[in-house]
Structures are given as C-alpha cells and as structure tokens.
A and B are shown apart, each in its own frame.
Chain A
Amino acid sequence: MENGTLIRTEKLVKIYPLGHTQVRALNGVDLTVGRGEFAGLVGPSGSGKTTLLNIVGSLDAPTEGSAEVLGHRVETLSPREAAALRSRHIGFIFQTFNLLPVYTAYENVEFALLLLGLSAAERKRAVWDALEWVGLTDRARSKPSQLSGGESQRVAIARAMVKRPELVLADEPTANLDAVNSHHILDTMEKLNKELGTTFLFATHDQKVIDHIRRTIVLVDGKVARDEPGPARA
C-alpha cells in the first residue's frame, strides 16, 4: 500500500445467503481512500454502503476479492487481530449512537481507551480533550438517557475520536438528528478531520452529509457507479 493510502479494495464481493437464494451486496468494488480524506459512500438503500463500511471496519469479511485497511488484509485477519485493529486504529459512529446505557458520557468515551492499556491519568486527559472537541464537558456526568439526540451523537463522536484513530467510519450519523444538530455534528467532524488529520468515511443518503463531504463515491447495486470530488450532484 502506497504512502498516503488508507483503504484499498480490489474486486470486492460480498454475498449473503437469504433463505434459499443469495444476495450479492457488493459486486466487485475497487476503491482507494487516502489519508485525511472526508469521503462519503452515497447511494440508495441496498446499494452496499453499510456492507462496504463493515468490511473496511473489519467487522465483516469479503466473500471474494481483497480489502486492505491500514496495511492489514481484512480477509486474512483472525477475529482477535480484527478486534485489535478496530480497538487501536478505527473509530465507529452509528446512526443510533450505540452508547452504553449504564455509563455516563465520560465513561462512554473512556471505554474506547480501556482496551489500549493507557494509565488512568492518560485516559482522563484524553477523555476531557475529546469531550472538549465536541463541546460536551458540561455533560460529562450525564447518562445517555439524559442526553438529547445531538448530544448523544457528539458523545459517540468523542468516543470514536478519543483514541485518535487514523480512520473513522460513520454509518448514517445524522439519520436520527434534526437539521440543526446534523450541521453541528458534521461541522464538528469536519473540524476534527482538518485539525487531527483523521480520515472520515461516511455511508449516507442524507443530503446534509453529502453537502459536507469532499469526495462522493456513489454505489449502485454493489458497484461504484461514480467517484468524484465534492458533494454529489443529483
């Protein structure tokens, strides 16, 4: 993998069994994403956005082809190696926030660091930094049930960013948010992308996200239909 390339997929195929038939979710995806990009996988439902994101995030393995992420071939990783890759180098942001309900905002953010073996002092510093990035230091002691949707997603962003990963994968991050919160979230992520150099890859069909991304990869029927800089054009 050349310097500056973070993700490269070649002839990526993912087939799911569905009853007695099979669904071809990805159908030969060739894609390269460089460091520091702020890119989006765009397409209608069932086009393979989330499947591709899951494979890149080593949560799933391809049926055929290869996916190289941060120098690791996803299809050859053992479950333990895949878990280590996720815990150290990849942050996830989900549509439904997926915060741990019994933890406070602070503890949710800290949770991402627990597997990294950092000292308590290092964790504390990193967590406060992350909460400051997303402007939630005053809600550190609140539990997810006490946070609004926008605040919850900002905690999720802080959790994804606290370990300073090279790659953040965001699956429909604004789908559950109103316009104001969506813009706030996207501004935050854009700022972090610029300030920390973190690569962001979105899966979305939300126009608000599409308006923010700097590269648009349009997926149709499991294939890259278009790949162009800037927001997608209708």
Chain B
Amino acid sequence: MLLKLAIKNILGAGLRSWLSAFVISLSLVVVVWNQGILIGFDRQSSKDMVDAEYGGGQVWHPAYDPLDPLALDAAHGPVPDALENLIGEGQATAILVAQASIYPNGRIRTVVLKGIDPDQKTVVIPSSSLAGGGDEEIPVLVGSRMAKATGLNQGDSVTIRWREPGGSFNALDGRIAALMTTTVPTVDMNILWLPLDKLRAMTRLEGEATYVIVSPAVAPPSGVENWVFKSQDDLLRDIRQLYKTKSIGRNIMFVLLLSLGMLAVFDTQVLSIFRRRKEMGTLMALGFTRGMVIRLFTLEGTLHGVLAAALAAVYGLPLLFYVKKTGFAIPQNWEGFGFALGDKIFPVYGAGLIFGTTAIVLAVTAVVSFLPTRKIAKLKATDALRGRFS
C-alpha cells in the first residue's frame, strides 16, 4: 500500500520528480561510464603489456635498472643455467639491451638495441621477421610509432652506431625487416629489435643477457642465482598505480555527481514535507501512525533513485553498450605515459559494476530521503491538519 501511494505521489509530483531522477541518473551513468573505461583501460593495457613485454615475469640481471640508462653498460651477464634450460625448453627468452645511435634521414637519434631470439614464443612480438640476414646488414624490427617518428619504412637501411666493450665505436647498417603494430610503447618507441645472436656478436657479449622473460607456466623460476625475478604484479605496478590514481579521481567525481543528485532529492524531500503537512495530518486521521508516514516519505525519496535507475537504463545502457562496442578514442598524447594503449579503449561494463553502482546510489538515496523525514517524528496530527509543524 505504501509503495503504491509512494509511486503515485512521485509520479504525481511531475517535473520535480523527473528532474531529481534525471540528475541522479546522470551521475549513475557517468560513474559507470568512467569506471567502465578505467576497467577497460586496465585490462587492455595490462594484457597487451603482459603479451608483448612482461610474459609471466622477468628475471633481471642484478645491475639492470630500466630507469637508469647509465647503468645499462654494466647490466648484463651470463644467463644462469636454470634460465638457459627454460630458454632451451621454449619457456623463456633472453633479451640483451644495449645503447646505440642511429642516423635516419641524416639525423642522429639515440636508441636502445634489444636482442631477441627470432624463434622465441614467449612474448607476442613478430621476432621471426629477424631470422636470416647477412653479416653486412642486420635485420631490424621496429614498431610503427618508431617508424613514424624516424621516417623509416620496411626495407630501408639505417646506420647503427654503438660503443664496443673497449670503448671504441663501431657501426653497421641495419635493414628494416618488418614494422610491427603494437599498443605497447615500451617495445616500440626508440627501440630497435635485433636478432639476439647478432647483438651479442656486435657487443662481444656471447651467452649474456640483460634480462630473461619467462612464460607464465614457469613463473617464478628457481635457481636464478643473484638475478632478480620481477613478477607480473611488480612489472604492472606502475599501471596499477595509475589506475588507482585515476580511480581516486573517479571516486571524487562520483561523490560530486552523487552529491548533486542527493541535493536534488534532499531538496525535493524537504519541500515535499513542508508542502504536504496537511496531507500528513489527513493520513494520520485515516489511521496512519507517524512511523508509517515516515516510511511513506522515505520510500518516496528512495523511489527517486529507482526512477533514476530506470531512466539511466533507458538512455544510459544503449549509450554505454554503444561505446563498449565502438570503443572510446584516446588522445595521441597518452603515448607519452609509456603505457600500452590502443587508439581506442574498449570499456568493460560488467553486471557487478552496473548493479553495484546502482545499489550504492539507491542506498545513499534512501539515507538522504530519510534524513528530512525525522521532522515528521515530532509532528502532531492536530498541527499537521492545520498545516503547521509542532
């Protein structure tokens, strides 16, 4: 009975109810939209980085620090036997890292050379294109961003200059064997992928590597001596941190939007209770207790949330699923953050996200609806019938 009356009352209130419901629905849709994009970003980015760069984890030479280019000269050593065995079994692949300069189109550019086994299957990089090649010209694999930045195309030659262990410089021509399209900037920008054997020969570091990528099946590997195992979680920490930071921003936005919606509900409730004192008195005269009147008004306020959820379903769900299908275009400057992002993010809108957010909105709406009704607890029927508060 209370529900029926509450529904009648909020629908009878017309535009006021719809306005409150619309504001709440807007916050609901925007929150789900944002959260879906962040989840999509996290999943897409993590998956691409794991596929192309991290595998099941990496085992680093103790001196290796990807953020310290000055330490790179010393960050290599013989691959521990346990890791060699895994490489032999196809469960891992060694990467040797060296610094170099290239001269595309007459300009100098500092790059990182990464040697990788052309036959490896541990990470999703088209390393097989590095197979073959003569002594005079080294096959080189570059990403599409790097190709765009340097103006290099498949089949082009580029001079590579590197410092040998003795300190003298050496140079060879490399031939762009293939361009790879990847969403992962850290395997693309300023990276030249070379066959591991070639790079080892160029740098006279036979049998050595800077780090070894292992497949998920053997992570964490044992017997790695003093090399340091970095799990997927370690390697994804930065992106998770970014996700967390974005989540905090998203939560603040959620609270702001929800506050706006709740302000509308609170305002509607206060106004409704003020305007409908006589109606409350009538309800009491007809046999309602104060508790029933409080429940009725709380229910009415809460129904704004339900109305908002229905409204959000009408215009929000089609919008969200359209974006889910077509993707959300990412601005180009995102590349500078070093995280794997495609041209588009495909948001993930799970049932948990949608129903969870809706439940939060409904719960907060119920609380906000209840707060103004506490005034009714002190209301005397005789005063209410005269349109007064006690």
Render B376-390 as a binary contact track against A, CB cut-off 8 A, 1 for contact: 000011100100000
A80 within 8 A of B: yes
B259 within 8 A of A: no
Chain B residues within 8 Å of A62, by CB: none
B175 within 8 A of A: no
Q: By the criterion CB–CB under 8 Å, are A114 and B1 in contact?
A: yes
Q: A59-B381, A60-B380, A79-B290 are in contact. Are A94 and B284 (CB under 8 A)?
A: no
Q: By the criterion CB–CB under 8 Å, are B284 and A102 in contact?
A: no
Q: By the criterion CB–CB under 8 Å, are B287 and A94 in contact?
A: no
Whole-angstrom CA separation of A102 from B17 in the bound complex: 14
Chain B residues within 8 Å of A59, by CB: 284-285, 381-382, 385
The smallest beta-carbon distance between B163 and chain A, in angstroms, is 85
Q: By the criterion CB–CB under 8 Å, are A87 and B385 in contact?
A: no
Whole-angstrom CA separation of A165 from B62 in the bound complex: 92
Chain A residues within 8 Å of B288, by CB: 83, 115
Which of chain B's residues has its CB closest to A86's CB? B287
Whole-angstrom CA separation of A194 from B11 in the bound complex: 41
B286 within 8 A of A: yes
Chain A residues within 8 Å of B278, by CB: 96, 98
Chain B residues within 8 Å of A54, by CB: 381-382
Which of chain B's residues has its CB closest to A80's CB? B289
Interface centre among B5, B282, B284, B287 (most CB of A within 10 A): B287
Whole-angstrom CA separation of A37 from B342 in the bound complex: 86
Chain A residues within 8 Å of B12, by CB: 101-102
Q: A96-B278, A100-B279 are in contact. Are A84 and B287 (CB under 8 A)?
A: yes
A57 within 8 A of B: yes
The smallest beta-carbon distance between B352 and chain A, in angstroms, is 37
Beta-carbon contacts under 8 Å, A7-56 to B: 54
Beta-carbon contacts under 8 Å, B1-43 to A: 1, 5, 8-9, 11-12
Q: By the criterion CB–CB under 8 Å, are A102 and B9 in contact?
A: yes
Q: How large is the interface on B (under 10, 10 to 19, 20 to 34, 35 or more residues)?
A: 20 to 34
Which of chain B's residues has its CB closest to A107's CB? B8
B281 within 8 A of A: yes
A111 within 8 A of B: yes
The smallest beta-carbon distance between B5 and chain A, in angstroms, is 8
Chain B residues within 8 Å of A111, by CB: 5, 286
Chain A residues within 8 Å of B381, by CB: 54, 59-60
- Name the contact of B282 in the complex, choosing from A94, A107, A115 (C-beta under 8 A): A94
Chain A residues within 8 Å of B281, by CB: 98
Chain A residues within 8 Å of B1, by CB: 114-115
Chain B residues within 8 Å of A84, by CB: 287
A103 within 8 A of B: yes
Chain A residues within 8 Å of B289, by CB: 79-80, 83
Which of chain A's residues has its CB closest to B288's CB? A83
The smallest beta-carbon distance between B313 and chain A, in angstroms, is 25
Chain A residues within 8 Å of B282, by CB: 92, 94, 98, 100
Chain B residues within 8 Å of A101, by CB: 12, 279
Whole-angstrom CA separation of A112 from B282 in the bound complex: 11
- Name the contact of A87 in the complex, choosing from B9, B287, B290 (C-beta under 8 A): B287
A139 within 8 A of B: no
Which of chain B's residues has its CB closest to A114's CB? B1
Q: By the criterion CB–CB under 8 Å, are B287 and A88 in contact?
A: yes
Whole-angstrom CA separation of A98 from B283 in the bound complex: 9
Chain B residues within 8 Å of A100, by CB: 5, 279, 282
Whole-angstrom CA separation of A22 from B289 in the bound complex: 28
Beta-carbon contacts under 8 Å, A142-196 to B: 159
The smallest beta-carbon distance between A209 and chain B, in angstroms, is 19
Q: A54-B382, A59-B385, A98-B385 are in contact. Are A86 and B11 (CB under 8 A)?
A: no
Whole-angstrom CA separation of A76 from B9 in the bound complex: 34
Chain B residues within 8 Å of A112, by CB: 286-287
The smallest beta-carbon distance between B12 and chain A, in angstroms, is 3
User: Apart from A54-B382, A57-B285, what 19 extra A-B contacts exist at CB < 8 Å?
Assistant: A59-B284, A59-B382, A60-B380, A60-B382, A79-B289, A80-B289, A83-B284, A83-B287, A83-B289, A83-B292, A87-B286, A88-B287, A92-B285, A98-B385, A100-B5, A101-B279, A102-B8, A103-B8, A107-B8
Residues on B lying within 8 angstroms of A by beta carbon are 1, 5, 8-9, 11-12, 278-279, 281-282, 284-290, 292, 380-382, 385
Q: Can you show 8 pairs from A to B with CB atoms below 8 A apart?
A: A59-B284, A83-B288, A83-B289, A86-B284, A100-B279, A100-B282, A102-B12, A111-B286
Task: Give the 3 A-B residue pairs with the shortest CB-CB distance, closest first.
Answer: A87-B287, A102-B12, A98-B282
Residues on A lying within 8 angstroms of B by beta carbon are 54, 57, 59-60, 79-80, 83-84, 86-88, 92, 94, 96, 98, 100-103, 107, 111-112, 114-115, 159
